[in-house]
Amino acid sequence: MQSMYRRRILFTLALIGPLLAACMPASMAERQTTVRMIETARGPLEVLEDGAAGGRCVLMVPSLGRGATDFDDLARRLADQGYRVLRPQPRGIGRSAPYAKDVTLVQLADDVLDVIAAEASSPCVLLGHAFGNRVVRMASARKPEAVKALILLAAGGKTKMPPDIEAALLQSFDLALPEETRMKAVSKAFFAPGNDPMVWRDGWYRDVAAAQIEATERTKVEAWWSAGSAPILVLQPTQDVLAPAENAEQLRKQEGDRVTVVYVDRAGHALLPEQPEAIARHVSEYLARL
């Protein structure tokens, strides 16, 4: 009797399973991240994709020496709202080919533009976190017609950081340091007081960061600072010691109504793991207005 009852249950589930899946909201049915490989003149790029293929494109570039998985939470939230989120892995992370010698921000921006050309049928919204803001701004400057808008999280570039903060930044990538010492540096450079830096205990790529720093040093700030002609949202952490608010205010003063600055409290340069709900809300509201 139990065997017959079990077979009936399995038979019923087999019949209604596809119907249930079709009725599921996107938040339940489309959470799977797809991994794509994009061929470029500079070698292959691994690209993480979330959301429906027909959704409006949002492309994300992560912080210095960190990978695209930093955006896992935000990417899934936006995918649940119907957007298509593309996240190229920086070169040297995952299956993305390493950086070439003497690379500049031009080559990093061209990777972004190659992903747009290969995967998007219309202009993309580019979202850059910390170092990633330089890359997306350079991409927008190089090819304005490929960019719908820019969203910059913790965006620096002009205001020089104090020497002790710069030292803490570099120590964050020194995996040979005792963990307690290194995490104190991570906390000092990236996190607002009271926020837990252990969420960023892992995910640091020292060689990638070194190449990205060199690319920045080989590129004049003026080449990417104005970021083409697209509208810009800056999400500025109020406790950011690496990219203080002077950077956002300079950009707003220079570019006028094209730039919207929103301050995010209780957040430092890490921002994404510190205030995920606030970031998702501000990004979603801005996207809805475009």
Q: Single out the residue of 26, 25, 15, 71 nearest to residue 51, CA to CA.
A: 26
Q: Is the pLDDT of residue 21 over 50?
A: no
State what percent of residues in the chain have pLDDT above 70: 89
Residue 231: what pLDDT?
A: 98
61-91 pLDDT tens trace? 999 999 999 999 999 999 999 999 999 999 9
Q: What is the pLDDT of residues 184-203, one digit of tens each?
A: 999 999 999 999 999 999 99
| Residue closest to 126 by CA, chosen among 275, 269, 38, 227 | 227
Q: Please give the class, per CATH, of domain 34-289.
A: alpha beta
**DSSP secondary structure, 103-120, as one string:** --HHHHHHHHHHHHHHH-
Query: Does pLDDT of 282 surpass 50?
Result: yes
Tell me the two tokens of residue 19.
Answer: 């119907």
pTM recorded for the entire structure: 0.89
How far apart (Å, rounded) are the C-alpha atoms in residues 252 and 176? 40
Structural domain boundaries of the chain? 1-30, 34-289
More reliable by pLDDT, 61 or 17:
61
Alpha carbon separation from 180 to 2, 24, 78, 226, 285 (Å, rounded): 57, 45, 35, 39, 39
Of the given ranges (16-25, 132-141, 197-206, 244-253), which has the lowest mean pLDDT?
A: 16-25
pLDDT in tens, 234-277: 999 999 999 999 999 999 999 999 999 999 999 999 999 999 99
Condensed to tens digits (0 to 9), the pLDDT of residues 153-181 reads: 999 999 988 999 999 999 999 999 999 99
pLDDT over threshold 80, residue 20: no
Closest Cα partner for 31 from 94, 93, 81, 87?
81
55 φ, ψ to 5°?
A: -75, 160
> Which residues partner with 67 through β-bridges?
none
Please determine, for residue 12, whether its predicted confidence score (pLDDT) is greater than 90: no
Nearest of 155, 162, 160 to residue 252 by alpha carbon: 155
85 has which bridge partners? 50, 58
pLDDT band, residue 31 (cuts 50/70/90) = low
